[in-house]
Amino acid sequence: MSNLCVYIIIQANIHSYVLRYGSSKTMTKRLVRIEVQPGQFLQAPIVSLVGYSPTMNAVTALYSAENNYLAEHPDDIESPFGITLAKSEFKRCIVLASVGGVKADATGHWNIKISDDNNKVKSSGACVEHVPIFPGYTVSLNFTDDNSDAGVGLAPYR
């Protein structure tokens, strides 16, 4: 079983995270980038996910990225990369209640897009579906201040 890596890239001054998932052989030179303050970036070395199955789902990838960041930065009192999940009250999926301190509420919500290695969209919307992701897939998260298409409702995730 090969080592797998999750990568987080953020666009400057925009609440938009990208997780890249691939084998350690093909993506070892990338860095994890996490926004701390607008315009300021924290960079950390690649984190390998050892012992995971060759495929993951998006929820597992999100948790893995956060857990590995916390393991690599044990002195961080407040992690700039924190995920809170909630169950949708209307659909069978998980919604992102909070990422990096930005909460889904009346002002907006998090959108999740999963694309394959050919940029074909496998899933897109306010819910994280339990669709599998494979090496080369990208999970993109972005916050929108338009709640007209959210339609997911939030309930505590247990």
Q: What pLDDT, on a 0 to 100 scale, did the predictor assign at position 41?
A: 40
Q: Are 141 and 14 in contact (CB under 8 A)?
A: no
Q: What pLDDT, on a 0 to 100 scale, did the predictor assign at position 123?
A: 81
Q: Bin 38: left if φ > 0, else alpha if -120 < ψ < 50, else beta.
A: beta
CA–CA dist 136, 53 (Å, integer): 15
What are the distances in angstroms from CA 61 to CA 37, 99, 128, 130, 152? 24, 14, 11, 11, 21
For the chain, domain boundaries: 4-156
Structure tokens at 105: 């509420």
Q: What pLDDT, on a 0 to 100 scale, did the predictor assign at position 113?
A: 77
Stretches in the chain below the pLDDT threshold 50: 1-53, 149-158
Q: What pLDDT, on a 0 to 100 scale, did the predictor assign at position 126?
A: 79
Q: What pLDDT, on a 0 to 100 scale, did the predictor assign at position 16?
A: 44
